[in-house]
Chain A
Amino acid sequence: EAQVTQNPRYLITVTGKKLTVTCSQNMNHEYMSWYRQDPGLGLRQIYYSMNVEVTDKGDVPEGYKVSRKEKRNFPLILESPSPNQTSLYFCASSPYPRTGEAFFGQGTRLTVV
């Protein structure tokens, strides 16, 4: 089954404790992206990757890191999480943003206390 898998689905952590949210897709898509969703603010793009070893900042990259060492995986790293990073995070993949639909993971609800 074609899918985007995020882990974990739920995470509660403390301020400053490094964490990684994993994202994996099995569709051989070149493009992957991370978004955060906050009430009243819609989805905002954090980082995206056009292909392996190619990543770029979205609209809200501060406090986040990503890597794209292989095509299927695109982890999101919070080196020192803060409470304002409490949010619902989505990973998505697409054959290419100009030509195809995006497939979304089920989301990771992160709480930083």
Chain B
Amino acid sequence: SQQGEEDPQALSIQEGENATMNCSYKTSINNLQWYRQNSGRGLVHLILIRSNEREKHSGRLRVTLDTSKKSSSLLITASRAADTASYFCATAYTNAGKSTFGDGTTLTVKP
């Protein structure tokens, strides 16, 4: 199975609500990254959190990392219809070039 697993697989909310997505992983990591993908297009990097960080903010995005639980969460506040996309977490392993993506969470924000 993949290193990163997102939860939930799909999320549907109304504009203005907050959206929370979770990611779990299995082995030690250097950092964890969140990406966004609009349908069929390339991934766009959103935010990176290092293994020695616990929380990071970027605009309406808030990412937390709990290395003891091997989990991360992405919170999008005050969501907009334009936030509709798939969101993936990716882990970069310590001392290696491998990276693993989760299966993604598909977010739908209804206007």
Q: Which of B34-76 contact A (CB under 8 A)?
A: 35, 40-45, 48
Taking the closest CB of chain B, its distance from the CB of A72, in whole angstroms, is 18
Give the residues in chain B near A58, CB-CB below 8 Å.
Answer: 98
Question: A109 vs B41: C-alpha distance in the bound complex, in angstroms?
Answer: 10
Taking the closest CB of chain A, its distance from the CB of B74, in whole angstroms, is 15
Which stretch of B11-19, B77-85, B99-107 is in the interface? B99-107
Taking the closest CB of chain A, its distance from the CB of B23, in whole angstroms, is 11
Q: Are B44 and A48 in contact (CB under 8 A)?
A: no
Question: A40 vs B31: C-alpha distance in the bound complex, in angstroms?
Answer: 24
Give the residues in chain B near A35, CB-CB below 8 Å.
Answer: 101
Q: Are A104 and B44 in contact (CB under 8 A)?
A: yes
Question: A58 vs B30: C-alpha distance in the bound complex, in angstroms?
Answer: 17
* Interface size class of chain B, counting residues whose CB lies under 8 Å from the partner chain: 20 to 34
Taking the closest CB of chain B, its distance from the CB of A32, in whole angstroms, is 10
Q: Are B88 and A31 in contact (CB under 8 A)?
A: no
On whether A101 and B101 interact (CB within 8 A), knowing A90-B43, A107-B40, the answer reads: no
Give the residues in chain B near A102, CB-CB below 8 Å.
Answer: 33, 35, 43, 45, 90, 99
Q: Mark A89-108, 1 if CB is under 8 A from B, else 0.
A: 01010000110111111110
**CB of A88 within 8 A of chain B?**
yes
Q: Which residue of A lies closest to B9 (CB)?
A: A40
Additional 10 contacts, C-beta under 8 A, given A33-B97, A56-B97, A59-B100? A42-B101, A43-B88, A45-B101, A48-B99, A56-B98, A90-B43, A92-B43, A97-B97, A98-B92, A104-B35
Interface residues of B (CB under 8 A from A): 2, 30-31, 33, 35, 40-45, 48, 88, 90, 92, 94, 97-104
Interface residues of A (CB under 8 A from B): 4, 31, 33, 35, 40-45, 48-50, 56, 58-59, 88, 90, 92, 97-98, 100-107, 109
12 contacts between A and B (CB under 8 A): A31-B97, A40-B103, A43-B43, A49-B97, A58-B98, A59-B98, A88-B40, A92-B43, A102-B35, A102-B90, A104-B35, A109-B40
